[in-house]
Structure 1
Amino acid sequence: MAARKLPSLNALRAFEASARHCSFTLAAQELHVTQGAVSHQIKALEEELGLPLFERLPNQLRLTRAGQDYLVAIRDAFDRIERATGHLRTPAGRQRLAISCSPNFSSKWLVPRLGEFTAQHPHLELRLEQSERHANFVRDDIDVAIRYGVGPWPELECLRLGDECLVPVCSPSLPAMRSAHELAAATLLHVHDQRGWSDWFLAQGLAAPDKASILFNHESASIDAALAGQGVALARSSLVALALRQRTLIAPFAPGPALAEAYWMICPRNGKDEEKLALFADWLRRSVEADRQFRAAGYPV
């Protein structure tokens, strides 16, 4: 087999860093070399390829069209090398499972239950990344992601984690609430805006109370506030399932109808390491089913 005709690895690293920073100087700082060395490596790479990769403008460095196309391929190659290296560095006898999920799902559903999963599968070494952006399984070195939305999505294996609904929850330390009018007198905890509670009261044939309230930008924070007795949160059922089972929260009113959106486990089709993904999927199914059965039996009020 003939030797591969590849450019210098150092030149490719210089190109990728320069393209990412749009600066030879910043690339040099990252790579711990001089700016002149980076410029020389890029020039040699361009000469080898026979075309320019950058437009060198006054006080600006910009990729050419060829440079943009080349960057996509180089980044993908580097991502694959980094992923393969990470797998080799996993201790002998263990497999690594990298999971990406939102901060809300991570803190209120997954993390409190992870001990159960690791006890059942001690050969798996878990890495958890909190993220709400679209999962790039190669670039981010992720095996499986959990995302909220209206699935399924093409080109991905998708497992719907049960139905989702909104349920009013509060600490059992708060005074008992038996009607929507009594609830309107309580402190309401909102997420992003007041639309959720407005829709809930509208469904009861009432207008939402016009008074001061507390507004959060993360649902997990509103649930924490409810746990602390600061008011009543309108939360997704999965995120408060464990707290309701442990009776650190109660549900003074019935859950709302099923939402179109739900949490989904997603991963690439025909991916590697199907066994560890199957183990995780099976554990998710059983855990979600336990939550569903508890909800069907009636939440504590």
Structure 2
Amino acid sequence: MPDRLPPLTALRAFDAAARHMSFARAAGELNVTPAALSFQIKSLEDHLGQPLFRRLNRAVELTAAGRILAPGAAEGFQTLSAAWLQTRRLRDNRTLTVTAGPAFTAKWLAPRFYDFARAHPDIDLRFSAGLRIMDFERDEIDVAIRFGLGPDPGLFAEPLAVEWLTPVMTPELAKRYPTPDDLSSAPLLFDDSLDFLDTKCDWAAWFRAAGMDFVPHHGVQFSQADHAIDAALAGAGVVLGRRALVVKDLDECRLVAPYRLALTLDAQFRFLCPEGLQERPHIKAFRKWIWSEIEKTANISEGLQLVAAKDVPPA
């Protein structure tokens, strides 16, 4: 039996037949006749020196050799297809597909993307909002903005601005609750989206950092950060606002942060793309634009007393 690989067309025919367990359906997928597909598989079996299928009356089934070959053939073609698509996409500098969480998309990207589109009319920007970890090759993603600690093996990973949490509310509510002590009687909103972090970054931690022995137990809870912020914008209460998600509302005075004490997080938003692709023109332009937008509101962090959440004494 020769060691060299058999023809790719024969392996392709086997892969399709093994997946469908039908020569007719496999032939339909490959747009060839059943006779042509059967010939390819027979040539593969001759190359191997043993059968890959048992031909039954109205069906086929894999032999022991076929069961060994099938998963490797399927994985090989999947890998080859992904590599081919990724290679073809290297020629496409017009379409930029970005994935980010729903909150970051709603509160950071969506309100700003018009400026990027106006500055780069030659780039078609596409957003895919979701928390599912996406595969850059399989899902044809160019850039991901993700929140967490990493690590991000095999990827170009660039942390964005330091993330902090501080109480934010409408200017009207700030007049009613001018000091941290007043928060004990304020309607508090709970953002549960950070519960996955090992270091607690909740209301109880913020009050301890402020030197207050107060543990809130009542308030409306939200699983999505942007929903909690929307409730605060509506005047429903006070929320621990995350920098990236409230900075635009703070800059435009829809929300205020009157107490100046903020908890910093180890976790950060990160700009991610496959290693080596960060210099592609459309990815480089998007990355540069993100940093320019961050710089526009950098003044919001000035004057804050930053306390690392991990350094807050436990309860």
Give the TM-score category using the shorter length: 0.7 to 0.9
TM-fit CA distance, 1:251: 1.2
Query: Partners in 1 of 2:21 and 2:278 — Cα distance?
Result: 37
Aligned AA (2:9): P
Q: Which residue in the other structure is 2:225 paired with?
A: 219
Q: Which residue in the other structure is 2:310 paired with?
A: none
TM-fit CA distance, 1:81: 4.7
Q: Which residue in the other structure is 1:132 paired with?
A: 131
The answer as to whether partners of 1:76 and 1:139 remain within 8 angstroms in 2 is no
Q: Which residue in the other structure is 2:8 paired with?
A: 6
Q: Which residue in the other structure is 2:161 paired with?
A: 162
RMSD of aligned C-alpha atoms?
3.7
Q: Which residue in the other structure is 1:180 paired with?
A: 180
Q: Which residue in the other structure is 2:82 paired with?
A: 79
Q: Which residue in the other structure is 2:275 paired with?
A: 269
The answer as to whether partners of 2:11 and 2:73 remain within 8 angstroms in 1 is no
TM-fit CA distance, 1:44: 7.2
The answer as to whether partners of 1:167 and 1:251 remain within 8 angstroms in 2 is yes
Q: Rg bigger for which structure?
A: 2
Query: Partners in 2 of 1:11 and 1:290 — Cα distance?
Result: 57
> What do residues 250-269 of structure 1 show as CA deviations (whole Å, max 9, x unaligned)?
11222413211111101111
Query: Partners in 1 of 2:122 and 2:11 — Cα distance?
Result: 35
Query: Partners in 1 of 2:280 and 2:114 — Cα distance?
Result: 22
1:113 equivalent in alignment to 2:120: no
The 3 A distance-change label for structure 1 pair 287 and 5 is same
> What do residues 177-231 of structure 1 show as CA deviations (whole Å, max 9, x unaligned)?
12233112122111226961121122223221233x1111111110111111111
Aligned residues: 270
TM-fit CA distance, 1:284: 1.1
The answer as to whether partners of 2:146 and 2:271 remain within 8 angstroms in 1 is yes
Query: Partners in 2 of 1:288 and 1:64 — Cα distance?
Result: 54
Query: Partners in 2 of 1:46 and 1:179 — Cα distance?
Result: 82
Q: Which residue in the other structure is 2:215 paired with?
A: 208
1:190 equivalent in alignment to 2:183: no
TM-fit CA distance, 1:24: 6.6
> What do residues 87-142 of structure 1 show as CA deviations (whole Å, max 9, x unaligned)?
88x7xxx7111111111111110111101111111110111111323342111101
> What do residues 233-285 of structure 1 show as CA deviations (whole Å, max 9, x unaligned)?
11211110001111111112224132111111011112286122211111111
Moved more, 75-84 or 220-229: 75-84
Unaligned runs of 5+ in 2: 1-5, 54-61, 306-315
Q: Which residue in the other structure is 1:56 paired with?
A: none
> What do residues 59-89 of structure 1 show as CA deviations (whole Å, max 9, x unaligned)?
xx9x95643333322223333455567788x
% identical equivalent positions: 27
TM-fit CA distance, 1:171: 1.9
Aligned AA (1:176): R
The 3 A distance-change label for structure 1 pair 76 and 208 is same
Q: Which residue in the other structure is 2:245 paired with?
A: 239
Query: Partners in 2 of 1:15 and 1:123 — Cα distance?
Result: 43
Query: Partners in 2 of 1:15 and 1:207 — Cα distance?
Result: 67
Q: Which residue in the other structure is 1:292 paired with?
A: 298
TM-fit CA distance, 1:173: 3.1
Q: Which residue in the other structure is 2:44 paired with?
A: 48
Query: Partners in 2 of 1:247 and 1:64 — Cα distance?
Result: 65
> Given the two structures, how large is their TM-score scaled by the length of structure 1?
0.75
> Given the two structures, how large is their TM-score scaled by the length of structure 2?
0.72
The 3 A distance-change label for structure 1 pair 83 and 12 is farther
TM-fit CA distance, 1:5: 2.4
The 3 A distance-change label for structure 1 pair 257 and 214 is closer
